[in-house]
Structure 1
Amino acid sequence: MEQTILLHNPGAGDEDHLHTELVQAIEREGFGCVYFSVKKDDSWKEQLEQADFAVVAGGDGTIRRVVKELVSRDALAKRIPIAILPMGTANNMSKTLGIDRDADRGMHIKNWKRSKRKRFDLGVIKNPDTTEFFLESAGYGLFPHLMQAMDAQDKSEVASAKDELKLALQVLHKLILEAEAASYMLKADGKTYEGKCLLLEVMNIQSIGPNLLLAPNASTEDGVFDVVYVDEEQRQAFADYIQQLIQHNTDAQFTYHSFAAKELSIDCSSKYMHVDDELILPIKNPLVMDVRENVLEFLVLDDQKS
């Protein structure tokens, strides 16, 4: 019998019985299961090596928290694969891995028996003062600014994840029209890119923030980043595109500047930076980012696309 460790991030609206239902559903499929709430304490970290795989029931931030523990361990420590039960707002990690947020949780659990292990690269950020990793993306400008603005928003009238995503797009639209462009210089593969940008993202997955698809061709195991940026002269076109998304125009399109790179150096004047879902002060310039291949494994279906 395969043993799982269920790492749950209970939201404000979760009923007390939800974690019991999850454990019972997992055990009905023939898995052993031990439950931990990642909000209560860190005792789950001591039990990771007892499991064959970890089940993360939460959103992108909860996944990062578990990954941070796994990658910080000694190289000889057991590094178990991760299965996701998406329960967050955006669920950008699940989207990239082809895991349907709206599917029945019982179906997700049934599918683990016929799943495969999907390799997942990590991004590493380095400068003389610090080293950091990222799972989803790292970048400057609009998205860290959006994270800060959303923290200050009154969400008392937000009734669902869809409502919150729409609110984020509305806030982003306003920021696009008002944000100051930042100077940047990128060096990758012998080429230099420079100018003024509103957005600069080094993508390890396909979407970011309110499910904005910046890198539709990004793969979790190709050994390269997708570097995406929006220049100052694209300001109005980008704002128009976001407005179309707010209005649910499924035909809306926007052409981002982008290129692939395994390693790059960045010098950017932006006052804002993020690493995954964490808003941070800009790391001292210049910084270097590179890909560490095959660091993690996630459980996905054979017929799912990466």
Structure 2
Amino acid sequence: MKKVLLIHNPTAGDAAHDKKALTGELKNAGYEAAYFSTKTSWKEIPRDVELTVIAGGDGTVRKAVVNLIEEKHEVLKKPFAILPLGTANNIATTLGICGNTREIIASWESAKEMPFHLSSLESGHEMHCLLEGAGCGVFPFHIQNMIKNPMEDGLGTQERMQVDLQRLLKSISVYKPDYCELLVDGLDHSGKYLLIEALNIKCVGTNLFLSPAGDPFDDKLDLVLMKETDKEKFANYVYSKIMGKELTLDIEPIPASRVSFRCEHNLYHVDDELIKNKDNSLLHVRAARKTVSFLVTERPTFAKAMVG
């Protein structure tokens, strides 16, 4: 049997995705799984594996990759595979990973390793690794509101998606765009913004497809900029998702290697986490700082955005 490392968020998914069920599915497919819970010390991870399987949502994928990089762990030389068990699963969606657990595991037999470029955000003397995106404006404002007023327990995936979208719509309506100093590959784009988002993948948040062409296999960021005049457009897009539709934003991202910014609100995020910028210094996002490999059945297509 091929030996794999299974990194599992035990709070993700349901009983069909607990330790016993996941290790059983892997065994049936010919994999011997060394189980590791995200609640355990990362120093206890075994080294002699051929594949690292991450079972959880986007937060679990980020936590696993970042912690293994910090530990300079041997498993980084081997590819990652994702069993998406979270709410949004933006990383898996970007990589074209879909289906039930059994189907995804079966697909690994013919899957290929693809280099996934990790970007970084520098805040003072701190360095943050990003897989999804980083920025300022209404997104970190919304994340802050969700932290202050968490969802009630027991909600299903679709219910959580709906609550998050409805609260995001509220955040968009009340957020006041502020002045942001912004440099894109050295060119000045400063002004008042509703949202500044440097993307590593095509969707963030609650499956918000801000950059349908966002390709983690290239060496560029996709910078999405929205000004106050875009507030109604963005609100309509979020409302369409609440109603079960999928419009496409007619906002063309800017390809960039380096994005530097700071805003008057001094509120920023990396992926789904808020970050501190105590002296409100200029933050720097750089593309393709590190590379890890993910298994994909075929190279996903990243079509250019079309007006919906």
TM-score for the superposition, normalised by structure 2: 0.89
Q: 2:261 is matched by which residue type in structure 1?
A: I
Match of 1:26 in 2: 26
* Alpha carbons of structure 1 residues 83 and 76: separation in structure 2 relative to 1, 3 Å: closer
* Alpha carbons of structure 1 residues 135 and 170: separation in structure 2 relative to 1, 3 Å: same
Match of 1:299 in 2: 295
Does 259-268 or 75-84 show the bigger shift?
Answer: 75-84
- SS at structure 2 position matched to 1:208: coil
Deviation at 1:50? 1.9
Unaligned runs of 5+ residues in structure 2 are 303-308
State how far apart, in whole Å, the 2-side matches of 1:132 and 1:248 are: 34
Does 152-161 or 29-38 show the bigger shift?
Answer: 152-161
- SS at structure 2 position matched to 1:49: coil
Q: Does structure 2 retain, via aligned residues, the 8 Å contact 1:97–1:305?
A: no
- SS at structure 2 position matched to 1:4: strand
| Correspondent of 2:173 among 163, 172, 177 | 177
Match of 1:264 in 2: 259
| Correspondent of 2:273 among 266, 271, 278 | 278
Q: Does structure 2 retain, via aligned residues, the 8 Å contact 1:223–1:291?
A: yes
Match of 1:152 in 2: 148
* Alpha carbons of structure 1 residues 157 and 263: separation in structure 2 relative to 1, 3 Å: closer
Q: 1:35 is matched by which residue type in structure 2?
A: Y
| Correspondent of 2:64 among 63, 66, 85 | 66
Q: Percent identity?
A: 33
Q: Are 1:96 and 2:91 counterparts?
A: no
Alignment of 1:113-132 (within 5 A): 113-132=109-128
Deviation at 1:75? 8.6
Q: 1:181 is matched by which residue type in structure 2?
A: P
State how far apart, in whole Å, the 2-side matches of 1:287 and 1:210 are: 25
Q: Does structure 2 retain, via aligned residues, the 8 Å contact 1:124–1:290?
A: yes
Deviation at 1:152? 3.5
Alignment of 1:118-267 (within 5 A): 118-153=114-149, 155-156=151-152, 159-250=155-246, 252-256=247-251, 258-267=253-262
The number of equivalent residue pairs is 301
State how far apart, in whole Å, the 2-side matches of 1:267 and 1:17 are: 41
Match of 2:35 in 1: 35
Deviation at 1:196? 0.7
Does 157-166 or 201-210 show the bigger shift?
Answer: 157-166
Deviation at 1:4? 0.4
- SS at structure 1 position matched to 2:119: strand
- SS at structure 1 position matched to 2:259: strand
State how far apart, in whole Å, the 1-side matches of 2:186 and 2:208 are: 29
Match of 2:306 in 1: none
Deviation at 1:304? 4.2
- Give the alignment's Cα RMSD to 1 decimal: 2.3
- SS at structure 2 position matched to 1:144: helix
Unaligned runs of 5+ residues in structure 1 are none
* Alpha carbons of structure 1 residues 275 and 34: separation in structure 2 relative to 1, 3 Å: same
* Alpha carbons of structure 1 residues 130 and 303: separation in structure 2 relative to 1, 3 Å: closer
Q: Deviations over 1:9-65 (max 9, x none)?
A: 1127733983112112111222221112212x21x5433422111111100111111
State how far apart, in whole Å, the 2-side matches of 1:77 and 1:59 are: 20
Q: Does structure 1 retain, via aligned residues, the 8 Å contact 2:202–2:213?
A: yes
Does 113-122 or 256-265 show the bigger shift?
Answer: 256-265
* Alpha carbons of structure 1 residues 7 and 290: separation in structure 2 relative to 1, 3 Å: same
